[in-house]
């Protein structure tokens, strides 16, 4: 069907529809054909096809150089991306090391704080024990002094009740002699 429609189209061409001989200047179809052939010959003579192919080749070269540049830019972008990914990985690892180091330092500081607290508690406990011992010794000394003063007062009362004037005078003379013997 398609072939048949193409055949009819060729048979109904304007060249066949013209009146008179085909190779005559009176036939407009022949004149158009000659003008077309002359135009194509002029284009070939002026080297338009070679210029067109040259322009197309130049355009193809530009496109090829642009593609090569795009490839090189792509490769450069890939290397830059790989560099940044590597740097990011290094920074991530460094951050993890810093966090681990900080964690270790915090644990160490906590252990040191515990040890310092235990030492402080031990010092305070020792100081409290010393204060208690000192207070106890002071209290014992005070009790002894009180006991001595009570004993002296009691002895003084007893001696005063038992002492006569001659015995008091003899006791004073003996005390003076004792003091004199110790001083010389």
- 38 falls within a domain: no
Is the separation of the CB atoms in 28 and 34 below 8 Å? no
- 134 falls within a domain: yes
Number of domains the chain is built from: 1
Rounded to two decimals, the pTM is 0.39
pLDDT over threshold 90, residue 148? no
Q: What is the mean pLDDT of the chain?
A: 85
pLDDT over threshold 90, residue 2? no
Q: What is the pLDDT of residue 1?
A: 60
- 31-45 burial code (b ≥16 CB/10 A, e <16): eeeeeeeeeeeeeee
Summarize pLDDT for 4-32 with one digit per residue, the tens.
566 555 555 555 555 667 777 788 888 89
Q: CA-CA distance, 16 to 7, in Å (whole number)? A: 13
Is the separation of the CB atoms in 158 and 150 below 8 Å? no
- 175 falls within a domain: yes
- Binning pLDDT at 50, 70 and 90, where does residue 154 land? confident
pLDDT over threshold 90, residue 151? no
- 119 falls within a domain: yes
Q: Once rounded to an integer, what is the mean pLDDT over residues 55-68? A: 95
Give the contacts of 33 (CB within 8 A, at least 6 positions apart). Answer: 15
- 15 falls within a domain: no
- 57-71 burial code (b ≥16 CB/10 A, e <16): eeeeeeeeeeeeeee
- 12 falls within a domain: no
Q: What is the pLDDT of residue 78?
A: 96
- Taking CA atoms, 172 is separated from 21, 132, 143, 157, in Å, by 189, 44, 30, 17
Is the separation of the CB atoms in 22 and 15 below 8 Å? yes
Start-to-end CA span in the chain (Å): 167
Q: What is the pLDDT of residue 32?
A: 92
Q: Once rounded to an integer, what is the mean pLDDT over residues 34-58? A: 92
**Residues 36, 37, 38, 43, Cα dihedral to 10°:** 90
Q: CA-CA distance, 16 to 27, in Å (whole number)? A: 11
Select the more confidently predicted residue: 166 or 1.
Answer: 166
Q: CA-CA distance, 74 to 145, in Å (whole number)? A: 103
Give the contacts of 6 (CB within 8 A, at least 6 positions apart). Answer: none
Domain that holds residue 128: 47-183
- 11 falls within a domain: no
Helix axes 28-45, 48-162, angle to 10 degrees: 60
- 94 falls within a domain: yes
Summarize pLDDT for 83-92 with one digit per residue, the tens.
999 999 999 9
Q: For the CA atoms of the chain, what is the radius of gyration?
A: 66
Q: What is the pLDDT of residue 153?
A: 82
């Amino acid at each position: 069907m398609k072939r048949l429609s193409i055949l009819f189209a060729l048979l109904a061409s304007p060249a066949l529809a013209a009146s008179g001989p085909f190779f005559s200047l009176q036939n407009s179809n022949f004149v158009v054909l000659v003008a077309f052939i002359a135009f194509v010959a002029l284009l070939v003579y002026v080297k338009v096809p070679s210029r067109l192919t040259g322009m197309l080749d130049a355009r193809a070269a530009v496109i090829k150089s642009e593609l090569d540049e795009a490839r090189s830019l792509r490769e450069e972008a890939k290397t830059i991306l790989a560099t940044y990914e590597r740097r990011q990985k290094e920074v991530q690892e460094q951050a993890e090391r810093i966090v681990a180091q900080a964690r270790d330092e915090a644990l160490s500081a906590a252990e040191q704080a515990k040890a310092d607290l235990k030492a402080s508690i031990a010092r305070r406990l020792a100081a409290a024990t010393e204060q208690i011992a000192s207070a106890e010794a002071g209290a014992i000394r005070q009790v002894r002094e009180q006991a001595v003063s009570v004993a002296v007062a009691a002895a003084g009362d007893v001696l005063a009740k038992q002492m006569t004037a001659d015995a008091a005078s003899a006791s004073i003379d003996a005390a003076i002699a004792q003091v004199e013997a110790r001083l010389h």
